[in-house]
Amino acid sequence: MLTEIIREALLEARRVLSECLSKGLVNVEGRGWSGDYSRQFDILTEKAIINVIKNNLDKVYIVSEEVGEIPCKDPDFYVLIDPVDGSTNVSQGLPFSASAITVSKSPRIDDIIAAGVIDHQTGKLYLGDRDRGVMVMGNPPSMRRNISLKDALVFIDLSIIKENEKDTKLVEWCVKMITKSGNSRFFAAANLEISYILEGKADAYACLSRDLKVLDFCAPATMVRWAGGEYRLINGNEEMLLTKNGRFGIIVASTKNLLEEILSLRITT
């Protein structure tokens, strides 16, 4: 089963990351495929995940944050990997980071068939299969339903304020969301922040600017949708491919109604 392979790879990632940190392997080693800084632990954790994937799957096309694309002719699977989401947190000793894996039958997001995320601090596993559903440490998701924004906890990527200071409409949308939500947080590890929606620790996640790579959100956003929630890309009609090295904004919510409430705050005139 694909989720068992994902589980094995994520547990190995956590083991290797812990070993790297115990040895002080936190230095920057250049820039990865996505353009972000690559630290020693990023590279070694990525290698560990890729080894597990290659040992268990034949004819696999891999896309990962540091090495980029590892092509395969006529692949049976496409695997998208974020080896360490929250690398800056890790390098600063902050306990909020994750690894994420997405498996698809094609480069299209609609063809994703399995996904998983691991919380490196706790070891908690979020695993999803398109046909069998989503599990959080072996239990069904416990997303909060019938919740409005005024009672919701929302993770909001605040980089929108720094990066779009001239786009006042986006900044105002962000401020409105913070003002109207019951609680707001920003921990800078989107894969884990979105995963928290699956167990009711949070109700929504929003990144309003083109700040995220596909691998930063694809696995948990897909699992939230499989579990009955919804997400929306906010960058127009641009097609999102697992192999595309682009940047995106996204809103993920535990219910369609909550998503629509957040979207309604957007200033369009």
Per-domain boundaries in the chain: 2-136, 149-263
* Residue 128 pLDDT > 90: yes
Average predicted confidence (pLDDT) for the chain:
92
For the sheet with 98-104, list strands across it.
68-70, 60-64, 77-85, 98-104, 112-119, 125-129, 133-136
Percent residues over pLDDT 70 in the chain: 96
Instruction: Give the CA count within 13 Å in the CB-facing half-sphere of 259.
Output: 18
- The CATH code that applies to domain 2-136 is 3.30.540.10
This prediction's pTM:
0.95
pLDDT at residue 33, rounded to an integer: 82
Compute the distance between CA of residue 266 and CA of residue 168 in angstroms, rounded to an integer: 11
The yes or no reply on domain 149-263 and CATH 3.20.20.80 is no
Q: Determine the average pLDDT of the residues in 174-195.
A: 95
**Average confidence (pLDDT) over 183-200:** 96
